[in-house]
A = this chain, B = another copy of it.
Amino acid sequence: MVAADRGVATVSSTELAEAAGVNAATLRRDLSHLGTFGTPGTGYEVSRLLACVDEALAVGRDWPIVIAGAGNLGRALACSRGFTTGGFRVAALLDVDPAQVGSVVNGTPVAHLDDLPAVVSRESVALGVVATPASAANDVVGRLARCGVRAILNFAPTVVAVPGDVLVHQVDLAAELQVLSFHLARHAPDGPGPGDPG
């Protein structure tokens, strides 16, 4: 149970560290980078702590984003909690499929990809998400960059090159799966695991 839910106004670094599974000293040092707001003998005032973390993460600002690709992944992201809270707001989904354009997903309109410049300009979009097939990713990234989008999150399995100072982060949904299978393989290389190949 989290501190705030217990009606307690303060948390100690030890409590937080145990909950997060990290060392208490490390946690204190990390928090100290955000300023000095702990009380010796008592701990951290929860409301103050939350406010400082939000401040540091630039939560509370308005971050309009666009999601290119209204397929399963694009729609899933548009409905995802993390994409619709914490300051992020999905200004539009974009697709080239006439059957998709004009529909509404989770309150967000699906616009044609050609309307990207208009949407970006109107909503001051600085962040773009690419959830298209790999074949379309390069074109879409180029369009986003030309519209003035300054950071791009790419879910397509393609390494994309951008002209200039646009920030691109690649997301590999299967990477974590590989990590897990790796651990299983180490733990029981010949045990009762997955079936034989073939």
Residues of B within 8 A of A194 (CB): 61-64, 124-126
- 8 Å CB contacts to B: which residues of A61-99? 61-65, 71-73, 75-77, 79-83, 86-88
A25 at the interface (CB under 8 A from B): no
Judging by beta carbons under 8 Å apart, are B88 and A196 in contact? no
Across the interface, A76 reaches (CB within 8 A) one of B72, B150, B169, namely: B72
- Shortest C-beta distance, A171 to chain B (Å), equals 6
Interface size for A (C-beta < 8 A) is: 58
Judging by beta carbons under 8 Å apart, are B62 and A174 in contact? no
A197 at the interface (CB under 8 A from B): yes
Bound: A40/B13 CA distance, A: 51
Bound: A154/B90 CA distance, A: 23
A34 at the interface (CB under 8 A from B): no
Judging by beta carbons under 8 Å apart, are A174 and B76 in contact? no
Bound: A126/B177 CA distance, A: 11
A180 at the interface (CB under 8 A from B): yes
Bound: A185/B57 CA distance, A: 9
- 8 Å CB contacts to B: which residues of A131-189? 134, 150-153, 157, 167, 169, 171-185
